[in-house]
Every structure is written in C-alpha cells, then in structure tokens.
Amino acid sequence: MTTINDNYLKLKAGYLFPEIARRVNVFAEANPNASIIKLGIGDVTEPLPQACLDAMTQAVKDMGDRATFKGYGPEQGYLWLREKIAKYDFQARGCEVDASEIFVSDGAKCDNGNILDIFGKNNVIAVTDPVYPVYVDTNVMAGHTGECNEKGEYEGLVYLPVTAENNFIAEIPSQKVDLIYLCYPNNPTGAVATKEYLKQWVDYAKAHGSIIFFDAAYEAFITDSTLPHSIYEIEGARDCAIEFRSFSKNAGFTGTRCAYTVLPKTLTAKANDGSDVELWKLWNRRQCTKFNGVSYIVQRGAEAVYSEEGQAQIQELVSFYLGNAKIICEELTKAGLSVYGGINSPYVWVKTPNNLSSWDFFDLLLEKANVVGTPGSGFGAAGEGYFRISAFNSRANVEEAMKRIIEKM
C-alpha cells in the first residue's frame, strides 16, 4: 500500500488566508454595494520598473534569434547576474561575498523551504513568534516537529515571542538551538534589527555552532542609514549565516519570480561522523540535481535592477510604498491606535484596541470601514491582539481606507 508523508497531516489546513477570503466573501454577498479595500496580502500592486521591462523585452528577442538563443543556463544563475548582485548588494556595503556564493532562484519562499534539504533531522529550530508561516510549515513537512497545540504552536520548535513588551526584538535564547530563522525588516511586525542586535546573534551562533537563516526580502525598505541591509555586514556572519534575498518586494517581481540565496564557502556543519562539511558544496549539489535555473529572460530583468535607471526606478517604487506606510501610521495614530513598524518596512503592525482579539478586530474593520487586513494571530500565538496592515496598494485606496477608519470607527 502506498503511504503518504504523514507530517503533512500535522499542518494546520492553510487556515489564515482562506479564512480571510471566506469572511470577505460572506460580507460581500450580504453587502453587494460595499467597496472593499484589501490591505491584507503581502503582494505588490505597482507595475514593473521600465528598466526591467526593457531588458526582458530585449531578452525575448534574443530567444528568437539562433545567434543569441539560450537553452539551459547554469543551475546557479548566469554569472553576469551573480557578479552584479555580489558587487552592488554586498561588496558595495563592505561585505565579503563572492559571485560564486550567490545562487539565483525563482523565489525566496522556495529557497527558505528547500534549504532544509541539506540539514539533518535532529536540529533544534528557533523561530520568532509571530513569524512568516513558511519557516514553520516547511519544518513541519520535513518532520522536524511534533503535533500542533490549540494555540498553533508545534511541539519541538523553540518560539521566541516578539511583542510590544520587548519592542518586537526576540531575546537571545538561553538554551542551545541549531537553526535560527531571522527576518529583518520583519514580516509581519515591520520591526528592524540593528547591527548591535545582529552581532549578538552572530556571537551566539558562533559560540554554539548554530546556523542563522537570515531573510532580507525587505532590505530595500530600510531608510535608516545606520541599519544593516545584510547579515554579512556583521563580523563573523560568514561563518554562521545563510542569507535569502528576493526581487519580489524591491522590484515588484512577485509574479515575475527571481530571488537568490547567499551561501558563503566558509560555512560548515557537522556530518554524522563528526567531520565538518562545507554547506556550499551540498547546496550546489542540491540545486544542480533538483533545479534547472531561472529563465534567461527573467534573469535579464533582474540584472536591469542594477543599472542606473533600474536603481532609480526601484527607489521610486519603494518610496511610493513607504509613503503609503507613513500615511497608514499617521492616520491610525490619529484614530487612537498604537502602531509599530511601517518606517523601514511596508508593514504596519497595529495593537488591536480595547483588547479585541485579532479576528474580532478583523470583523469590526471589515464591517465598519470595509477594509481588510490580516489578523496577527495567524502569524503565531504571540500575534494575538495584533493586526497587520500592508502598504502594498494604490495611494487612492490607502487614503480612502484611512479616511473610512477615521470616520467610521
């Protein structure tokens, strides 16, 4: 008899976004004239930068000409893209990252999940709470956890709560953990990490032989020049950290798909026999076997992000979304709410008023203002009592949503 991967049965049934959609549908059917504004999902709304479009249009033409046609590319990505990434995203910030350590992929979400392929089954894993659900669910699927309790916590994971009480900064654990997921600027809280804070994690990881998974998908939203964009700005990080980056949020590639992972050649972990093994070699082997690279056309589009026009255009996009976030923060503060994040991040993390639960506040916002956000409890037990508002929308929608919240709530 064929059997399944039973770990999948431990997953909560993709509860959050389907439940949001269900409640919105029920409301929309009962109120057919309501114009609902969605500030819930973390997807961009503005079109691609012109520089990326032009580069991809040219790349399509290349594919139609025998002389410039491309078949399979390198599994790790074209060197011309990897070199630009290494130069502009890392070397320009004083980080020692070589093009050979960049692995181009079709998404940071996939990389975040796939990276577990090269790690053992018995690692102790730490995540913040609330957290980007992909980190947790991919560990559940890989059999790294026990069952889920009624609060949504999986047995075997180490949860590091982040709330207003600790300024949304996870405490460094007192116990030993082997793998640590960090995401800064953070989804969902919009919190940022200083160099001093990341240095504490790097020191912890080096002292315990741990590996940090650093998700920097939102680094482009950092406006404070003292904040690090990469974990490799921290001394010692090349010995303990893997970084995930994406073109999804800076250049609007959520539907175009391009990202990359940085795996320093200096990074090692233990084999069963106690020997140290280079993780770069394992990840390279994994990618060569299970991945055939990102489309040439898309990599040309990503390369254009590093052109002068591309840099100016992504700056404009990011500033636009940050402008939305600023309006959201200001207006919600006027409405008497406590807001966090939204300064170096497209996400505003709101404390629900009057101790409402995250879902009760969701319903209230939907019914009174016809605005949709994301209940914080969907990102983890410690997200209860919070609510995420996304700045990914048109200026008109953001302004209208805020006007309604001020007037109707």
Ligand X SMILES: *Cc1c(COP(=O)(O)O)cnc(C)c1O
- Per-residue binder mask for ligand X (CB under 6 A), 286-325, x = binder: ----------------------------------------
Options 78, 90, 103, 132; binder of ligand X; rule CB under 6 A: 132
Cα–Cα distance for residue pair 134/137, rounded to 1 Å: 5
Cα–Cα distance for residue pair 171/6, rounded to 1 Å: 33
Nearer to ligand X, 58 or 138 (CB): 138
Cα–Cα distance for residue pair 370/363, rounded to 1 Å: 9
DSSP label of 221: G
- For the CB of residue 351, give the shortest distance to ligand X in the complex, in Å: 21
Span near ligand X by CB under 6 A; candidates 105-113, 152-160, 172-180, 390-398: 105-113
138 touching ligand X, by CB under 6 A: no
- For the CB of residue 66, give the shortest distance to ligand X in the complex, in Å: 33
Nearer to ligand X, 105 or 210 (CB): 105
228 touching ligand X, by CB under 6 A: no
371 touching ligand X, by CB under 6 A: no
Number of residues counted as binding ligand X (CB under 6 A):
14
Residue of 178, 168, 64 lying closest to 126 (CA atoms): 178
- For the CB of residue 297, give the shortest distance to ligand X in the complex, in Å: 17
Options 128, 139, 210, 246; binder of ligand X; rule CB under 6 A: 246
Segment 165 to 184, residues that bind ligand X, using CB under 6 A:
183
Three-state DSSP state, 312: helix
Nearer to ligand X, 254 or 397 (CB): 254
388 touching ligand X, by CB under 6 A: no
Cα angle 277, 278, 282 (rounded to 5 degrees) comes to 95
Q: In this structure, are strands 259-262 and 241-246 parallel, antiparallel, or unpaired?
A: antiparallel
- Within 96-252, where are the H helices? 108-114, 133-141, 195-208
187 touching ligand X, by CB under 6 A: yes
Options 55, 157, 217, 240; binder of ligand X; rule CB under 6 A: 217
- Per-residue binder mask for ligand X (CB under 6 A), 24-63, x = binder: ------------------x---------------------
| Tokens linked to 178 | 């082997």
Three-state DSSP state, 14: coil
215 touching ligand X, by CB under 6 A: yes
Cα angle 371, 372, 375 (rounded to 5 degrees) comes to 135
* Ramachandran area for residue 242 (φ above 0: left; ψ -120 to 50: alpha; else beta): beta
- For the CB of residue 286, give the shortest distance to ligand X in the complex, in Å: 17
Nearer to ligand X, 257 or 268 (CB): 257
Cα–Cα distance for residue pair 86/99, rounded to 1 Å: 5
- For the CB of residue 329, give the shortest distance to ligand X in the complex, in Å: 19
Residue 207's contacts (CB-CB under 8 Å, 6 or more residues apart) are: none
For residue 121, which phi and psi values (nearest 5 degrees)? -85, -20
Nearer to ligand X, 131 or 405 (CB): 131
242 touching ligand X, by CB under 6 A: no
For residue 159, which phi and psi values (nearest 5 degrees)? -95, 130
Residue of 85, 65, 76, 39 lying closest to 304 (CA atoms): 85
345 touching ligand X, by CB under 6 A: no
Cα angle 300, 108, 211 (rounded to 5 degrees) comes to 125
Options 139, 248, 287, 344; binder of ligand X; rule CB under 6 A: 248
Nearer to ligand X, 85 or 405 (CB): 85
| Tokens linked to 260 | 């990359």
Q: Residue numbers of the site for ligand X (CB under 6 A)?
A: 42, 107-109, 132, 183, 187, 215, 217, 246, 248-249, 254, 259
